């Protein structure tokens, strides 16, 4: 059973799966999704991480801050898809779950900024 779960998890990481109401995708698929200019790019890392480099056009809302949801509600339009990422994928999954609970449509970069090989600002 454990082996089957590992295989299924690996498949989801490769092709993108809906998990907890949001889509988790690899870097290649994420790059395709954010080409749509209506998709909001969201970096949920710390300010220091963001300043070291981020996906062009991404806005920063640090998910580790207590006011994450309040800031997100002020800055993020519910009628647009939110494409978010963190460093490795852990914090972005937390942020994705929080936003989905608030009614946002979310796509998450599964392995985070570490897996990103596209343009960086």
Query: Can you give the pLDDT of all 121 residues of the chain as single tens digits?
Result: 555 544 444 444 444 444 568 999 999 999 999 999 999 999 999 999 999 999 999 999 999 999 999 999 999 999 999 999 999 999 999 999 999 999 999 999 999 999 999 999 9
What is the C-alpha to C-alpha distance for residues 100 and 97, in angstroms, rounded to an integer? 5
The predicted pLDDT at position 116 comes to 97
Contact indicator for 115, 26 with CB cutoff of 8 Å = yes
Q: Which candidate in 86, 106, 109, 111 is catalytic?
A: 86
The predicted pLDDT at position 36 comes to 97
Q: Give the class (CATH, top level) of 2-115.
A: alpha beta
Give the count of alpha carbons within 13 A of 22, CB side only.
27
Instruction: Give residues with Cβ within 8 angstroms of 60, minimum separation 6.
Output: 42, 43, 44, 45, 47, 50, 54
17 is catalytic: no
- 19 phi and psi angles, rounded to 5 deg: -135, 120
């Amino acid at each position: 059973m454990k082996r089957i779960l590992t295989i299924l998890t690996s498949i989801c990481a490769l092709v993108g799966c809906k998990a907890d109401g949001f889509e988790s995708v690899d870097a290649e698929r994420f790059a395709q999704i954010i080409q749509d200019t209506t998709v909001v790019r969201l970096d949920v890392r710390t300010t220091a991480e963001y300043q070291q480099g981020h996906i062009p056009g991404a806005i920063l809302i640090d998910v580790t801050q207590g006011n994450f949801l309040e800031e997100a509600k002020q800055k993020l339009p519910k009628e647009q898809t939110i494409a978010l990422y963190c460093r490795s994928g852990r914090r972005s999954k937390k942020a994705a779950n929080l936003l989905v609970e608030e009614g946002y449509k979310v796509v998450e970069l599964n392995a985070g900024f570490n897996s990103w090989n596209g343009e960086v600002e």
